[in-house]
């Protein structure tokens, strides 16, 4: 063993340390003592401002405005208590509360202590004037999130809040710290890394009275980057007005690129409530059983109802189970597996176009049974169901598409013919998000491409949409698509079509209604379609939670398209 060498080694490292200390304390001691004695180093943090969020035309949806914090320095001259009692008068509170706030926030003698946050400019000026006698009040201006349109597009934007532990553990490697204000939900969360400002500050030497001697170092704060969205504020406003008073969501999308032009969800919330938390509504949003913080357009999952018949029609046409000559008789109901399955009306003889126009259940029960559950499942997946669409917003749901195989694997249960019938009219276990429905409609509007919806167009002026534009060619014959499109058009133009009231619009609309039965409460209402019919520029999906029927959704759709036309947002030449 070589333990003989350990002693000299230890002696050497201790000598090294002693020399190091000798160097700092004796040789350079005078210099360091001067630095520590006469001069102190202070850090003055400076905040940059968070990036703004703009709409597709550069209109500001979210920006920042100056706000003021009042701070008291216990290091400067003047008694803290005296200052606090004078400040209490200006801030409309009492001395005791301010003293408590001071105690709570106090960190170190040389660091100013915040006694009031986000105060009005008028009060800030009054406090600043106190300094003529007391000179230990510091007013710190800093940029605060400002929402000029209040609740507009709140689900797309998200809100800001103090970082929580869950996020901190995931983001700590990216430079996030406790007490950081970060985005929650929406673009604020998804693009937080770009939007967030970088803290900077001055490192200064001050003398024993706190006067500046020299600046030792400066790191400029960096502002966050602006993000431009694909949202059109005018359309967004129209959709939110049309949705007012109802629970649900509306999506307008460009069917070719996947750009989201408007995304509304109701009930909504006020992002500003999270900035100034004295606002009682902040708690309301968190505790409300209606869950206003949830973006129903992407995070809500619902039965699809009859809008799903589009998928069934596609699968049947592609499999050759039905064609333009096929027709079934609808007596108002039919028996499947010994059970009676009802239609919502008596339609008599129906071909596919008519069945889509009238949303005839009997036709689709029979068609669905011909195709089989697995066949429908395959096409549901092709049309983008059961997976998130990949939109650049957090918390997107994937929905659920049932199949005999999944049921066997997951629950060891058998699949019955009745399940296929239910599946064929979009009922049963099928769950979809409104955005998935809009995307399915886009496949028909753009003749066969499954687009990836996106909402952020550029960051800091640099176009990022290129990386998001991912389209998958859906393997469907052109004949199938144009045949279904014909059906969707007759939903509007046929006098008996379920969305016939849309025929009075100045633009040609095609689409499909849906009434999804739910076990409790009124049925959900759907309308998903596109316009102008020949050369579609818009896909629309209106979803009303417990809206009663598809008709209610058609009424909302009508109002939206009417207002868009009035505002000149639709080029009616199509």
Nearer to other proteins, 218 or 400 (CB): 218
Report the candidate in 274, 275, 304, 532 with the shortest Cα–Cα distance to residue 438: 304
Q: Does 212 help bind other proteins (rule: CB under 8 A)?
A: no
Q: Does 26 help bind other proteins (rule: CB under 8 A)?
A: yes
Report the candidate in 261, 304, 202, 336 with the shortest Cα–Cα distance to residue 516: 304
Q: Does 215 help bind other proteins (rule: CB under 8 A)?
A: no
Q: Does 473 help bind other proteins (rule: CB under 8 A)?
A: no
372-385 residues labelled b (16+ CB within 10 A) or e (exposed) = bbebbbbbbebbbb
Return the bridge partners of 335, or none. 340
Round to whole Å and give the CA distance between 264 and 185: 14
Q: Does 337 help bind other proteins (rule: CB under 8 A)?
A: no
Residue with tokens 């937080």: 192
The answer to whether 315 touches 371, Cβ cutoff 8 Å, is yes
Q: How far is CA 283 from CA 185, 231, 287, in A?
A: 17, 29, 6
The two structure tokens encoding residue 489: 């058009």
Nearer to other proteins, 22 or 329 (CB): 22
The answer to whether 528 touches 550, Cβ cutoff 8 Å, is no
Q: Does 340 help bind other proteins (rule: CB under 8 A)?
A: no
Nearer to other proteins, 171 or 301 (CB): 171
Q: Does 221 help bind other proteins (rule: CB under 8 A)?
A: no
Q: Does 349 help bind other proteins (rule: CB under 8 A)?
A: no
What is the closest distance, in whole angstroms, from the C-beta atom of residue 181 to other proteins in the complex? Answer: 18
One symbol per residue from 134 to 173: x for binding other proteins (CB under 8 A), - otherwise; what is it?
Answer: -------------------------------x--xx--xx
Q: Does 409 help bind other proteins (rule: CB under 8 A)?
A: no
Nearer to other proteins, 175 or 506 (CB): 175
CB within 8 Å of 24: residues ≥ 6 apart: 32
User: Residue count at the site for other proteins (CB under 8 A)?
Assistant: 50
Interface pick for other proteins out of 58, 108, 287, 338 (rule CB under 8 A):
108
Backbone region of residue 155 per phi and psi (left: phi > 0; alpha: psi in -120 to 50; beta: other values): alpha
Nearer to other proteins, 16 or 400 (CB): 16
Nearer to other proteins, 107 or 280 (CB): 107
Q: Does 342 help bind other proteins (rule: CB under 8 A)?
A: no
Round to whole Å and give the CA distance between 116 and 93: 10
What is the closest distance, in whole angstroms, from the C-beta atom of residue 87 to other proteins in the complex? Answer: 20
What is the closest distance, in whole angstroms, from the C-beta atom of residue 160 to other proteins in the complex? Answer: 22
What is the closest distance, in whole angstroms, from the C-beta atom of residue 45 to other proteins in the complex? Answer: 9
Nearest 5°: the CA angle 335, 336, 338 is 80
Nearer to other proteins, 76 or 456 (CB): 76
Q: Does 79 help bind other proteins (rule: CB under 8 A)?
A: no
What is the closest distance, in whole angstroms, from the C-beta atom of residue 70 to other proteins in the complex? Answer: 20
Interface pick for other proteins out of 58, 103, 325, 467 (rule CB under 8 A):
103
The upper half-sphere exposure of residue 120, i.e. CA atoms within 13 Å in the direction of its Cβ, equals 6
What is the closest distance, in whole angstroms, from the C-beta atom of residue 5 to other proteins in the complex? Answer: 8
Round to whole Å and give the CA distance between 238 and 554: 15
Stretch that binds other proteins, among 6-14, 397-405, 425-433, 499-507 (CB under 8 A): 6-14
Interface pick for other proteins out of 95, 106, 149, 193 (rule CB under 8 A):
106
Round to whole Å and give the CA distance between 111 and 117: 16
One symbol per residue from 185 to 204: x for binding other proteins (CB under 8 A), - otherwise; what is it?
Answer: ---------------xx-x-
Q: Does 469 help bind other proteins (rule: CB under 8 A)?
A: no
Taking each helix axis from N to C terminus, what angle separates 478-493 and 309-318, rounded to the nearest 10 degrees? Answer: 140
Q: Does 217 help bind other proteins (rule: CB under 8 A)?
A: yes
Residue with tokens 């070719």: 256
Interface pick for other proteins out of 60, 126, 181, 216 (rule CB under 8 A):
216
Q: Does 325 help bind other proteins (rule: CB under 8 A)?
A: no
Peptide linkage before 395 cis (omega within 30 of 0): no
CB within 8 Å of 563: residues ≥ 6 apart: 238, 241, 242
The two structure tokens encoding residue 550: 């598809």
Kindly list the residues in this chain that would bind other proteins in the complex (CB under 8 A). 1-3, 6-7, 9-11, 13-14, 16-18, 20-22, 24-26, 28-29, 31-33, 35-37, 40-41, 43, 103, 106-111, 165, 168-169, 172-173, 175, 177, 200-201, 203, 216-217, 219
């Amino acid at each position: 063993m070589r333990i003989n060498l350990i002693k000299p080694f230890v002696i050497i490292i201790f000598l090294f340390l002693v020399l190091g200390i000798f160097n700092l304390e004796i040789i350079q001691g005078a210099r360091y003592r001067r630095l520590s004695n006469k001069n102190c180093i202070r850090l003055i943090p400076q905040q940059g401002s968070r990036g703004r969020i703009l709409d597709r035309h550069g209109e500001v949806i979210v920006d920042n405005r100056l706000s003021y914090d009042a701070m008291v320095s216990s290091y400067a001259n003047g008694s803290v208590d005296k200052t606090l009692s004078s400040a209490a008068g200006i801030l409309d509170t009492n001395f005791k509360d301010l003293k408590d706030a001071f105690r709570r926030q106090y960190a170190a003698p040389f660091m100013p202590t915040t006694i009031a946050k986000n105060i009005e400019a008028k009060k800030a000026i009054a406090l600043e004037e106190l300094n003529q006698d007391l000179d230990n009040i510091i007013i710190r201006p800093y940029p605060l999130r400002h929402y000029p349109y209040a609740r507009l597009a709140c689900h797309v934007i998200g809100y800001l809040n103090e970082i929580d532990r869950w996020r901190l553990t995931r983001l700590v490697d990216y430079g996030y710290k406790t007490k950081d204000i970060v985005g929650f939900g929406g673009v604020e969360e998804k693009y937080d890394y770009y939007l967030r400002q970088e803290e900077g500050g001055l490192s200064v030497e001050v003398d024993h009275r706190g006067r500046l001697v020299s600046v030792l170092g400066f790191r400029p704060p960096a502002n966050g980057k602006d993000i431009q969205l694909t949202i059109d504020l005018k359309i967004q406003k129209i959709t939110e007005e049309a949705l007012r008073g109802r629970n649900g969501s509306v999506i307008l999308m460009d069917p070719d690129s996947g750009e989201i032009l408007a995304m509304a969800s109701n009930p909504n919330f006020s992002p500003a409530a999270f900035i100034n938390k004295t606002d009682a509504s902040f708690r309301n949003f968190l505790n409300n059983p209606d869950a206003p913080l949830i973006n129903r357009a992407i995070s809500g999952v619902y039965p699809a109802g009859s809008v799903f018949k589009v998928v069934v029609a596609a699968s049947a046409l592609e499999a050759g189970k039905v064609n333009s000559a096929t027709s079934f008789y609808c007596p108002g109901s039919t028996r499947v597996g010994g059970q009676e399955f009802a239609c919502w009306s008596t339609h008599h003889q129906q071909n596919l176009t008519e069945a889509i126009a009238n949303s005839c259940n009997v036709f689709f029960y029979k068609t669905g049974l011909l195709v089989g559950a697995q066949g429908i499942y395959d096409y549901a997946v092709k049309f983008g169901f059961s997976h998130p669409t990949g939109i650049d917003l957090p918390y997107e749901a994937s929905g659920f598409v049932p199949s005999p195989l999944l049921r066997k694997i997951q629950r060891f249960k058998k699949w019955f013919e009745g399940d296929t019938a239910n599946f064929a009219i979009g009922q049963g276990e099928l769950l979809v998000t409104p955005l998935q429905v809009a995307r399915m409609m886009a496949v028909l509007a753009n003749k066969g491409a499954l687009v990836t919806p996106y909402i952020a167009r550029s960051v800091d002026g640099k176009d990022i949409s290129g990386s998001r534009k991912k389209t998958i060619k859906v393997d469907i014959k052109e004949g199938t698509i144009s045949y279904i499109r014909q059906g969707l058009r007759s939903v509007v133009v046929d006098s008996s079509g379920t969305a016939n009231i849309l025929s009075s619009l100045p633009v040609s609309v095609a689409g499909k209604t849906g009434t999804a039965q739910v076990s409790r409460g009124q049925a959900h209402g759907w309308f998903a379609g596109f316009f102008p019919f020949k050369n579609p520029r818009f896909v629309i999906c209106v979803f009303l939670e417990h809206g009663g029927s598809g008709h209610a959704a058609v009424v909302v759709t009508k109002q939206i398209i009417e207002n868009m036309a009035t505002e000149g947002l639709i080029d009616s030449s199509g």
